[in-house]
């Protein structure tokens, strides 16, 4: 997966030949990423930052003429974006917390939808590259016919081709449907026509109430009374994981 970390290890044998080694250089996708000098054992941390293809190379440089005396390439590793299941497992609890927050801030006059963007950001180095960014909430009167989670603008920051540079990708989006325990009438629950799948295979989720009523056509509804005790239901739509 993008953001994966690797330790490049080199041990010079026999050890009495280490005195002939000036330094060891490390490359990722044939681009220089670091250098070590010292004893006959070397370790270097590398990370898959911004390119799906990753291949490490270690070059041992001798003291005489400062020339390479040995080099070795790793296998090529192809990195992928996280799957929808992996994202849901990691952020499902936070999605539920935002759902509870949307219900807690609802009032007799206004209801709220809350949105979030899930990022994979390898620019931060060796920290956790995954974050869920909660977008500010907006208040809507119950009489409004169409609600909308304030997702706002989100854009990747990609520096592909150079393994030394991290990138930032959207790997999922989430929003709640409006809290309804203070509303004056029932509403339909579940994914709406406006909840269109994102492009590029990016998965999306919406959290809404479990229905407590159905009309003659089987359309599910939540009543204000039912919303006071109803469980939340997380519904996934969109792709199974970002493609590129």
Last residue of one domain, picked from the residues 78, 109, 133 = 78
pTM across the whole model = 0.85
Last residue of one domain, picked from the residues 49, 78, 107 = 78
* DSSP run (H or E) holding 127: none
Residue 202 half-sphere exposure toward CB, CA atoms < 13 A: 19
- 163 with 103, same domain? yes
- 25 with 144, same domain? no
pLDDT in tens, 162-208: 767 788 999 999 999 999 999 999 999 999 988 999 999 999 999 99
Please give the residue that has the higher pLDDT: either 155 or 26.
26
- 58 with 127, same domain? no
Q: Count the domains in the chain.
A: 2
170 CB neighbour count, 10 Å cutoff: 18
96 Cα distance to chain centroid: 17
Nearest by Cα to 33 from 42, 43, 45, 41: 45
- 137 with 170, same domain? yes
Q: What is the CATH number of the domain that holds 41?
A: 2.60.40.10
With cut-offs at 50, 70 and 90, classify the pLDDT of residue 39: low
Q: Contact, 230 vs 198, CB < 8 A?
A: no
Mean pLDDT of 107-133: 89
Range of the domain at 112: 84-238
Angle at 169 between CA 5 and CA 88, to 5 degrees: 80
């Amino acid at each position: 997966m993008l953001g994966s970390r690797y330790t490049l290890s080199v041990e010079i044998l026999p050890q009495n030949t280490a005195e002939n080694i000036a330094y060891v250089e490390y490359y990722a996708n044939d681009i220089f990423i670091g250098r070590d000098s010292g004893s006959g054992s070397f370790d270097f941390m590398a990370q898959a930052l911004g390119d799906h293809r990753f291949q490490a190379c270690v070059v041992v440089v001798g003291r005489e003429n400062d020339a390479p005396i040995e080099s070795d390439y790793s296998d090529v590793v192809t990195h992928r974006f996280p799957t929808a299941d992996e994202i849901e497992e990691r952020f499902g609890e936070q999605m539920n917390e935002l759902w509870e927050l949307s219900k807690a801030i609802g009032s007799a006059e206004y209801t709220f939808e809350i949105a979030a963007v899930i990022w994979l950001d390898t620019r931060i180095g060796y920290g956790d590259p995954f974050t869920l960014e909660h977008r500010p909430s907006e208040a809507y009167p119950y009489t409004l016919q169409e609600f909308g989670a304030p997702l706002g603008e989100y854009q990747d920051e990609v520096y592909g081709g150079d393994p030394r540079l991290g990138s930032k990708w959207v790997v999922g989006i989430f929003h709640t449907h409006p809290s309804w325990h203070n509303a004056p009438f029932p509403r339909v629950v579940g994914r709406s026509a406006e909840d269109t799948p994102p492009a590029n295979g990016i998965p999306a989720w919406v959290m809404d109430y479990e229905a407590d009523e159905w009309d003659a056509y089987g359309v599910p509804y939540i009543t204000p009374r039912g919303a006071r005790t109803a469980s939340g239901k997380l519904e996934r739509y969109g792709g199974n994981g970002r493609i590129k």
